[in-house]
């Protein structure tokens, strides 16, 4: 059978020698509508398999296993290299010097700096408490002839007594200038003979045998023996109108 004809009006397929479309009756022009069968497309070219490239020169040697006699030698060389690397790393870390930190970086303290104890702060000096000022205790006998002051004189603890009128010879050791009468005193060092420019009469009258103690000094007046004053070690004096002055 000749080639097929396709109707341009309805698209129906008709025999190649048809003069009219069997479907819609549209006439065919034989010269223009004879179709020639198209040749079948050629088959695709066969895929060509390329040969694999030859291996590199060292690949074949690497693929081959080492002889048994060389295995211990290679293992020993590897062990020596590893040991040498460890020693080198230890030496480097032991002798490495600290680098100067760049601007903006914080410098970490070394082990020696951390272990170093902090400087001990010097405590502020504490003020030595000052002793309360000594207040002298002045008194007199009932007759007013014996007058004493117990406390401190020029900062030195002591006691001083005055006998205005006496019935005994004036002592050679007594001071002859200043206030009238005989003056005798006692300090921590013992009895002495002071020179007193003036000595005001005390207002307080002390009862007999009533000791007065100030700053370690004690004085008392007795009707028979007069006044007796002593320090903390028992050193002192007695003074009486008739008996005079006795130091001990």
Q: Tell whether 201 is covered by a domain.
A: yes
Q: Please tell me the total count of domains within the chain.
A: 2
- Phi, psi for residue 58 in degrees, rounded to 5: -90, -5
Contact predicate 140/161, CB 8 Å: no
Q: Spell out where 77-189 has E strands.
A: 137-140, 146-153, 156-163, 182-187
**pTM higher than the cut 0.75:** no
Nearest Cα to Cα of residue 118 among 107, 105, 109, 131: 109
Contact predicate 164/145, CB 8 Å: yes
Q: Tell whether 81 is covered by a domain.
A: no
* Torsion angle of C-alpha atoms 27, 28, 29, 30, degrees rounded to 10: -130
Q: Tell whether 132 is covered by a domain.
A: no
Residues in the chain, overall count: 248
User: Would you write out the chain's pLDDT as a tens digit for each of its 248 residues?
Assistant: 457 878 888 888 888 788 888 888 888 774 344 444 455 566 666 555 556 666 665 555 455 555 565 666 666 766 667 666 666 566 556 655 555 545 555 556 555 555 555 556 666 666 666 667 889 999 999 999 999 999 999 999 999 999 999 999 999 999 999 999 999 999 999 999 999 999 999 999 999 999 999 999 999 999 999 999 999 999 999 999 999 999 99
* Torsion angle of C-alpha atoms 62, 64, 67, 71, degrees rounded to 10: 40
Q: Tell whether 53 is covered by a domain.
A: no
Q: Tell whether 115 is covered by a domain.
A: no
The residues, any chain, with a CB within 8 Å of residue 56's CB and separated by 6 or more, are: none
Q: Tell whether 106 is covered by a domain.
A: no
> How far is Cα 93 from Cα 138, in angstroms, rounded to an integer?
86
State which residues form the domain around 12: 1-38
Q: Tell whether 50 is covered by a domain.
A: no
Q: Tell whether 238 is covered by a domain.
A: yes
């Amino acid at each position: 059978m000749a080639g097929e004809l396709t109707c341009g009006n309805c698209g129906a397929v008709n025999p190649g020698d048809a003069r009219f479309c069997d479907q819609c009756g549209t006439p065919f022009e034989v010269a223009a509508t004879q179709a020639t069968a198209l040749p079948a497309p050629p088959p695709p070219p066969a895929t060509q398999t390329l040969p694999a490239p030859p291996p590199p020169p060292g690949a074949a040697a690497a693929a081959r296993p080492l002889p048994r006699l060389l295995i211990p030698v290679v293992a020993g060389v590897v062990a020596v290299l590893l040991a040498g690397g460890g020693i080198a790393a230890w030496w480097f870390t032991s002798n490495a010097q600290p680098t100067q930190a760049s601007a903006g970086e914080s410098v970490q303290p070394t082990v020696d700096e951390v272990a170093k104890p902090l400087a001990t702060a010097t405590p502020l000096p504490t003020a030595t408490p000052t002793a309360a000022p000594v207040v002298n205790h002045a008194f007199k006998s009932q007759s007013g002839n014996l007058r004493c002051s117990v406390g401190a004189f020029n900062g030195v603890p002591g006691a001083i007594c005055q006998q205005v009128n006496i019935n005994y010879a004036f002592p050679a050791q007594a001071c002859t200038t200043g206030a009238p009468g005989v003056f005798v005193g006692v300090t921590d060092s013992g009895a002495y003979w002071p020179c007193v420019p003036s000595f005001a009469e005390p207002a307080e009258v002390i009862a007999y045998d009533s000791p007065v103690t100030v700053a370690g000094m004690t004085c008392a007046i007795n009707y028979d023996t007069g006044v007796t004053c002593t320090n903390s070690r028992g050193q002192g004096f007695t003074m009486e109108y008739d008996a005079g002055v006795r130091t001990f």
